[in-house]
Structure formats: C-alpha cells, structure tokens
C-alpha cells in the first residue's frame, strides 16, 4: 500500500467512541443518564484521545426500545434534557476537536409518532401510506419474522382499520414505508435539520432494511432470523441511499456508517464504494455472531480463534482497493468485549482487555470503541429475568416459556450474550451507584464497580484506561496502522493472532496471545527485529522461532 495513492479522510483516521447516554452520567438525580451528564464528562472523553463520538438516540421516545422507537425526530427526549443542552454539548465537543455522530433510526418510528397515530386512524388518512399495511380481508399476511415480537410475527393486527401493520422489531416500532416519496422527503428534511445544527454524521440504524419487496411476497423455506438476508435485499435499497446521498449527504462534510444486518462480502461494495455515492462505512455482524445461535444462545464456535481470524481477515482485505471498513467488538447490543472475547476473571481481566483494545486500534478500518471498555468493564451477568430491562431478552424469555422451551438455558446464555450486559451504568468511582447517579439507576450497576472504575485507573500508569490513551496516540502517530495493508500470519494457530500492517517501506507487526497460557508465536525471520511500540507487559521474550508470549500478551513492533 502506498500513501500517495490513498484518499485520506478524517473518518478513516479517527477513533469513534460510542456513548450510550442512558448509562453514561446522570446529572439530575433521576437515575437516568442525560446530556448534562455528558457535558460534565467532556474533559474525560477528550482525555481518551478519541476523535469522534457516536451518540445512541437522544430523540423523543416512549422508550420501549431505549430510544430506538422515536416519536419526534426533532426534539430531545425529556429524560435526556433539552435542545439547549444538546447545543451546549455539541459545542463542547467541537471546542475539544471532537466530532459528533448521531443515530438515525428511520427504518421504523415509534407507534407514538404523530405519523403513525394518523396512519392507523383510518384507511383514507393522508398518512396511511407512511407505513406498511395489509388489509385483513386479504387473509393472513405472508410470513414475516420479527426480532422482538412476543409471538414472533412482524405483522400486528390493528382493529380500528381491520388491517395488519408491519414491524420488523417491536409492535411499538412500525416500519416506515420508504416506497412513499413523501416519507423520504420528510426524512431527508429532518436530516438537513440536524446537519444544519452542525452534527458530523449519522450512524444509520438497520438501514439495510428500508426497502421492502413489492406486494409482500412469500419467501418459501425462509423462516426466523434467516429472513434477515431477505430484509436486507429489498429491490430499492441502493436507489434510496443514492437518493439520500444526492439530496442530503453530499452537501456536508460528514460521515455515514450503516448498521448493516444482512451485509456480507459479496454485497458490501455496493453500499460503501466511493463511486456508488451511497454511504462511507458499514458494520457487519459476522464476528460477533460467531458462537451465537438463534435468540443469542451460545454455541461451541464461541472463542474459535481460527474462524474469528478468517472473518476479520476477509473483511479487512475486502477494502484494499475500494470502500472502507470498520472494526468493533461491542456496542449497546452486544456483550462487553472482555467477557465475550477475553477473560474477565481477576487474573486476566486487565491484560485481556488491553489486548482486545490493541486489536481494535491496530486493525485496518475505523475503530468503533464502546464506552466503558477503556476501563475493562465486564458483563453484568444478571441471574434473574427480573433484573433485565431489555425487551429482547424479556420477550425471548417469555416466548421460550410459552413454547415450553428451556428458559433457564436462555438466561444462562444471556449472561454471556444479552444486550443489557453492555448497558449497565458507567463505573466512575467507588461511591454509591458507581458515581453514575445519586439515585437508584434505571439498570443495576455491575457489582464489581469497587474494583473496576475510572477513578482508580486515572492515576495508575499501567491501567487499561491509560493503556487505551497510549493506543489512541499510537494510531495517530503511525499512518501505517490506519492505511497500511493488512496481512495475516499463522492463520491456523489456535491461540495467537499475528498480522502485519505495511505502508510504503514501513512494516508494523502485531502479536496477540488470545489465551490464558503462554505460547510461542512462530514468526518468519525477517520479522524478528523490531522496536516495541506498545506492550501490555514489561517484558518480551525472544526465542529462536520468534517470540514467546505471556497469557493475553499484546505487542506491537516496528520492524527494522
């Protein structure tokens, strides 16, 4: 790879830090994180050396799905504050040189949105066609699977007009009808509103689902979550995104990233290649779904490093010539990185969490880093269904009970895989409620906050927090870590993940021991001599075949 041939972009070079506002910092003692809480923590966020913040939805919402059910796209949720707070927060980030990316949730709205209230009120209401309706006199609609529905169906019967409406997610999240040009126009206007305020981009929620198949055909033999691929292959997806680009995106210096269920290596270029003029980046799910069956039941592929490396390598090299990728381990929908990919026992927690951060920040693709991972926060591992807030776990638990299935097994799996694991309050210090709130938090604080918290790590030079700060600086100082070609070594090794990043004449070697015992990384001789750029241990043992790595050791070397 040659730097002279690469189109440099701020969104390729930046590190994204994701903030789940509900759980970051409560400023007014109601147990719910809010925008003024974020304002209080601006200096902390800036101290991490990150460049871009992605905020989960902060719009008006009845909160059935924590803000992913929006009832007013141009106002701030009461729990989170006001538009003045938002403006002050945005300014605070910009002053510190940090860009702000918002969530765009336009596959569906809330059932409380005025459009839906109108739409369901009568068949001839002007808003009727803002959503997808199936008249009941046509019989039962063709099968559609829902992610969250308590009965599993994406069609909900609405008595008032004797018709079914479509909801890929919860009943309270009816799908918007993108086939209707008026809907697109409303959405594009709303996007202009936020860009004119000065936001720097959008993360687009399940954007691959916006185009529906005409007439809602039956898809023989496609059931359950297999329907995701069908949902992502709507006939006009690319037409709508191109139109969005032309009408809105191209007029601003902003970034866009698709949340892309159903994206894979054969369809991804249509979405992100520059000449397509659609979106900049996408995130796929292949690596986080490795080891997961339906309803997030964990299977034996969890922690299969050889398969993991193959997935990561295929995606990292897919954008060698065109397009650009992303790297991430967790977000508000997936468990904590240290609990899922690392070892969260006291003995290995810090080193494994540092290793995982090293991976994300030395891979090719923009890193999306989830709040709290910088201090190595772990899964909550709730024992009881009563501790859960997330409608996904709760509805699947109820559905499993209703089917006479093994609900206990689901609970056990969700300790590892459930969404609430990453949604617990940020662990700031050892005070009550971990310094998150003076009141009882909306979701239980994980009980290890006395050992794992930002205050304790702040002044400890070898803490995960300070290590993360070194990593963000390292990435800034080495363009090879951003643009360099990626090449996998030791593809079949079950413990070591090793790769090089090469830009012009510079070669950087990354060695990661994904295991709780020592292993030798057998590396070609030409890569044996280098300067250590970062190491999560004080030592590095050189052996004839290469390097002997301690449990969860992570080392980055510049080859001489």
Q: Which residues are catalytic?
A: 205, 259
Report the side by side order of strands in the sheet with 99-104.
281-283, 255-259, 201-204, 99-104, 52-55, 16-19, 366-370, 326-328
Residue with Cβ nearer ligand GLC (330 or 400): 330
34 binding partner (options ligand GLC, Ca ion, none; Cβ < 5 to 8 Å by kind):
Ca ion
105 binding partner (options Ca ion, ligand GLC, none; Cβ < 5 to 8 Å by kind):
ligand GLC
Helix (H, G, I), strand (E, B) or coil at 503: strand
30 binding partner (options Ca ion, ligand GLC, none; Cβ < 5 to 8 Å by kind):
Ca ion
Residue with Cβ nearer ligand GLC (167 or 364): 167
* Cβ 168 to ligand GLC shortest distance, Å: 8
State the DSSP H helix or E strand holding residue 357, giving kind and residue range, or none if neither. Answer: helix 349-362
* Cβ 69 to ligand GLC shortest distance, Å: 7
Contacts of residue 143, defined as CB under 8 A and 6 or more positions apart, other chains included, come to: 153, 218, 219, 223
CA dihedral 534, 536, 537, 538 (to 10 degrees): 40
Percentages helix, strand, coil for the chain, rounded to the nearest 5? 35, 20, 45
Contacts of residue 337, defined as CB under 8 A and 6 or more positions apart, other chains included, come to: 329, 330, 353, 356, 370, 373
For residue 295, CA distances in Å to 70, 227, 229, 399, 421 come to 25, 14, 17, 10, 15
304 binding partner (options ligand GLC, Ca ion, none; Cβ < 5 to 8 Å by kind):
none
Residue with Cβ nearer ligand GLC (100 or 555): 100
Cα–Cα dist 455/493, whole Å: 38
Residue with Cβ nearer ligand GLC (258 or 445): 258
State the DSSP H helix or E strand holding residue 40, giving kind and residue range, or none if neither. Answer: helix 35-40
| Interactions with Ca ion, residue window 24-53 (CB under 5 A) | 26, 28, 30, 32, 34
Tokens of 294: 């339906």
For residue 358, CA distances in Å to 371, 373, 502 come to 16, 12, 17
Residue with nearest beta carbon to ligand GLC: 68
* Cβ 24 to Ca ion shortest distance, Å: 10
For residue 461, CA distances in Å to 285, 457, 475, 536 come to 34, 8, 19, 11
User: Is position 438 an interface residue for Ca ion (rule: CB under 5 A)?
Assistant: no
Residue with Cβ nearer Ca ion (29 or 461): 29
Nearest to 268 by CA among 292, 243, 245, 241: 241
333 binding partner (options Ca ion, ligand GLC, none; Cβ < 5 to 8 Å by kind):
ligand GLC
* Cβ 43 to ligand GLC shortest distance, Å: 28
* Cβ 56 to ligand GLC shortest distance, Å: 8
* Cβ 39 to Ca ion shortest distance, Å: 12
Residue with tokens 């037409």: 239
Helix (H, G, I), strand (E, B) or coil at 372: coil
* Cβ 175 to ligand GLC shortest distance, Å: 10
Residue with Cβ nearer ligand GLC (110 or 513): 110
Residue with Cβ nearer Ca ion (59 or 324): 59
**Pair 257, 268: CB distance under 8 Å:** no
Residue with Cβ nearer ligand GLC (332 or 349): 332
* Cβ 205 to ligand GLC shortest distance, Å: 5
DSSP string, 452-472: S-HHHHHT-TTSHHHHHHHHH
* Cβ 383 to Ca ion shortest distance, Å: 27
Phi and psi of 533, rounded to 5°? -90, -35
Residue with Cβ nearer ligand GLC (206 or 255): 206
The binding site for ligand GLC (CB under 6 A) comprises: 65, 68, 105, 169, 205-206, 259, 332-333
For residue 194, CA distances in Å to 443, 505, 508 come to 30, 43, 40
CA dihedral 170, 172, 173, 176 (to 10 degrees): 140
205 binding partner (options ligand GLC, Ca ion, none; Cβ < 5 to 8 Å by kind):
ligand GLC
Residue with tokens 């209707």: 180
Residue with nearest beta carbon to Ca ion: 34
32 binding partner (options ligand GLC, Ca ion, none; Cβ < 5 to 8 Å by kind):
Ca ion
Cβ burial, residue 136 (10 Å; 0-12/13-18/19+): middle
Tokens of 140: 């039962």
Q: Which stretch binds Ca ion (CB under 5 A): 20-28, 182-190, 242-250, 318-326?
A: 20-28
For residue 445, CA distances in Å to 137, 256, 417, 433 come to 50, 32, 17, 6
**Chain contacts with Ca ion (rule: CB under 5 A):** 26, 28, 30, 32, 34
């Amino acid at each position: 790879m040659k730097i002279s041939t690469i189109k440099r972009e701020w969104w390729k070079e930046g590190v994204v830090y994701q903030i789940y506002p509900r759980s970051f910092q409560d400023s007014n003692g109601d147990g719910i994180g809010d925008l003024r809480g974020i304002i209080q923590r601006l200096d902390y966020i800036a101290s991490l050396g990150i460049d871009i913040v992605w905020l989960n939805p902060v719009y008006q919402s009845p909160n059935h799905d924590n803000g992913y059910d929006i009832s007013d796209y141009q106002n701030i949720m009461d729990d989170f504050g006001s538009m003045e707070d938002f403006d002050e927060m945005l300014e605070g980030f910009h002053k510190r040189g940090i860009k702000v990316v918002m969530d765009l949730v336009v596959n569906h709205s809330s059932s409380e949105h005025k459009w839906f209230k109108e739409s369901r009120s009568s068949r001839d209401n002007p808003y009727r066609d803002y959503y997808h309706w199936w008249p009941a006199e046509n019989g039962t609609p063709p099968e559609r699977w829902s992610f969250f529905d308590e009965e599993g169906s994406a069609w909900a019967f609405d008595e008032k007009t004797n018709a079914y409406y479509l909801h890929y997610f919860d009943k309270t999240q009816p799908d918007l009808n993108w086939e209707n040009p008026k809907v697109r126009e409303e959405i594009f206007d709303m996007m202009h509103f936020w860009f004119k305020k000065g936001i720097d981009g959008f993360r687009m929620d399940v954007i691959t689902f916006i185009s529906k198949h005409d007439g809602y055909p039956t898809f023989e033999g496609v059931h359950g979550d297999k329907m995701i691929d069908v949902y992502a292959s709507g006939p006009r997806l690319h037409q709508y995104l191109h139109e969005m680009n032309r009408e809105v995106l191209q007029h601003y210096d902003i970034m866009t990233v698709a949340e892309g269920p159903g994206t894979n290596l054969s369809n991804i270029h249509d979405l992100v290649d520059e000449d397509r003029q659609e979106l900049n980046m996408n995130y796929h799910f292949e690596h986080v779904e490795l080891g997961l069956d339906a309803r997030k039941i964990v299977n034996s592929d969890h922690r299969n490093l050889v398969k993991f490396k193959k997935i990561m390598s295929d995606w990292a090299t897919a954008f060698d010539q065109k397009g650009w990728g992303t790297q991430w381990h967790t977000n508000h929908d997936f468990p904590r990185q240290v609990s899922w990919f690392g070892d969260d026992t006291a003995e290995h927690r810090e080193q494994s969490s540092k290793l995982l951060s090293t991976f994300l920040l030395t891979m090719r693709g923009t890193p999306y880093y989830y709040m709290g991972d910088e201090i190595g926060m772990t899964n909550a591992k709730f024992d009881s269904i009563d501790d859960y807030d997330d409608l996904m776990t709760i509805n699947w638990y109820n559905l499993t009970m209703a089917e006479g299935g093994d609900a206990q097994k689901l609970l056990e799996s969700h300790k590892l895989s459930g969404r609430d694991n990453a949604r617990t309050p940020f662990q700031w210090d050892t005070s009550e409620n971990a310094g998150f709130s003076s009141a009882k938090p909306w979701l239980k604080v994980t009980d290890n906050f006395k050992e794992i918290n930002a205050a304790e790590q702040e002044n400890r030079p070898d803490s995960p927090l300070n290590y993360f700060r070194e990593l963000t600086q390292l990435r800034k100082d080495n363009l090879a870590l951003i643009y360099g070609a990626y090449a996998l070594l030791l593809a079949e090794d079950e413990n070591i993940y090793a790769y090089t990043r090469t830009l012009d004449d510079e070669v950087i070697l990354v060695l990661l021991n994904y295991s709780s015992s020592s292993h030798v990384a057998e590396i070609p001789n030409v890569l044996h001599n280098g300067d250590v750029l970062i190491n999560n241990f004080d030592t590095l043992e050189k052996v004839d075949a290469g390097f002997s790595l301690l449990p969860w050791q992570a080392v980055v070397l510049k080859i001489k």
